[in-house]
A = this chain, B = another copy of it.
């Protein structure tokens, strides 16, 4: 094991990856063995009876990894979870999460409150406070109602079970129109393990309380260093490849916990199987976030190929995906190749427009620097659907590609975000 960890980053070339088959299974975040969860309504959200606090707990200290917002303005729970992960050396026992209040821009009091959430959870389930990770989502600049939170934590800890996954997925929602949970079973020569997860997110920030949170569990046995790498690798093409409005919140957090209860041990050879399973769950959850994006009526997969580097491809795909003109065109079912070409052209990557092709829904709309406007009606028909494909090959002589998922931009987005807070 020590050897494997030392080789982190490069699989031994003599060891071919073992094959894996995936199948969807029910059970969400507690589909993997070794996890329990609970969710309660403790009055943080204004709406009476709305679930707003949850705990996810493993039966013992397990491997854990986290990815956090890159925003300079980091909320108290983000700062505390980072500290706890570092202190506990990539191990954790539980995650406590609330919705309705982000505990962001709350100063020293906010840090004390986030630590108190961890301490109360630790006390209730019997572990060290540093073994508890904390997440919050909701309005920012407002202090947590700690007496309500404390009551909620005690009730959650007493109610932990393997049957509360659906409620747990609901408890982390804010403006999300629907809960997002998914689980897959992965079968390899080395055995069968399960990956489960829940996520929330809709736009990107308060006051529409739209931070992105994601929690992933697996019953595979994974060394912390491999789990961290797997989380980072899985997020790259999933949670980090979606955009609703290009914003990034103060509270974005993604956690993974590995219980090892399946008995399947992940090493360099089986790493690709773990990654594939994590990626499958993450993609389902991430695309679910886009589908539930504020005002969204369509999911758009923007794929860029023919690039020299994946980073180039991703940068162009992201610029297209965040272009308000492309997003409004998709909303209006307008096969507007011109906006796609212009967005690609301002992404900061050098390529030749005359070697570039643009397909919308598989229909070639632009090549050799010229449009095929006669094919616009075919592409327009595709744009009437709810799953849109935009494909751009920049013909830069490379084989690198990347996909970014986004949604359309509707008047409803403006309505949701333009209403005065009070």
Contacts and interface: CB of A to CB of B under 8 A. Distances in A.
A275 interface: no
A182 to B, nearest CB: 28
A410 interface: yes
A247 B346 contact: yes
Given A345-B72, A420-B380, A338 B105 contact: yes
Contacts of A380: 420
A104 B341 CA distance: 11
A325 B414 contact: no
Contacts of A140: 338
A247 B322 CA distance: 10
Nearest to A337: B141
Interface stretch (A30-38, A304-312, A328-336): A328-336
Contacts of A145: none
Copies of this chain, tallied across the complex:
2
Contacts of A366: 105
Contact of A413 (B245, B324, B333): B324
Interface stretch (A48-56, A129-137, A202-210, A218-226): A202-210
A324 B294 CA distance: 12
B371 A417 contact: no
Contacts of A343: 247
Contacts of A351: 72
Given A73-B341, A73-B345, A368-B107, A247 B328 contact: no
Contacts of A71: 342, 345-346
A339 interface: yes
Contacts of A123: none
Contacts of A263: none
Interface residues of A, number: 64
Interface in A311-328: 323-325, 328
A414 B328 contact: yes
Given A334-B421, A421-B336, A247 B323 contact: yes
Contact of A419 (B247, B334, B339, B418): B334
Nearest to A208: B325
A350 B72 contact: yes
Most B CB within 10 A of own CB, among A105, A245, A323: A105
A112 interface: no
Contact of A141 (B105, B245, B331, B338): B338
Contacts of A107: 368-370
Contacts of A411: 411, 414-415, 418
Interface in A263-318: none
A82 B344 CA distance: 22
B324 A245 contact: yes
A231 interface: no
A67 interface: no
A371 B141 contact: yes
Nearest to A351: B72
A418 B338 contact: no
Contact of A329 (B250, B368, B418): B418
A21 interface: no
11 contacts: A71-B346, A72-B345, A72-B351, A105-B366, A107-B368, A205-B325, A247-B323, A247-B324, A247-B325, A332-B417, A411-B418
Given A73-B341, A250-B345, 10 more contacts: A73-B344, A73-B345, A105-B353, A204-B325, A205-B325, A205-B339, A205-B342, A206-B338, A247-B339, A324-B324
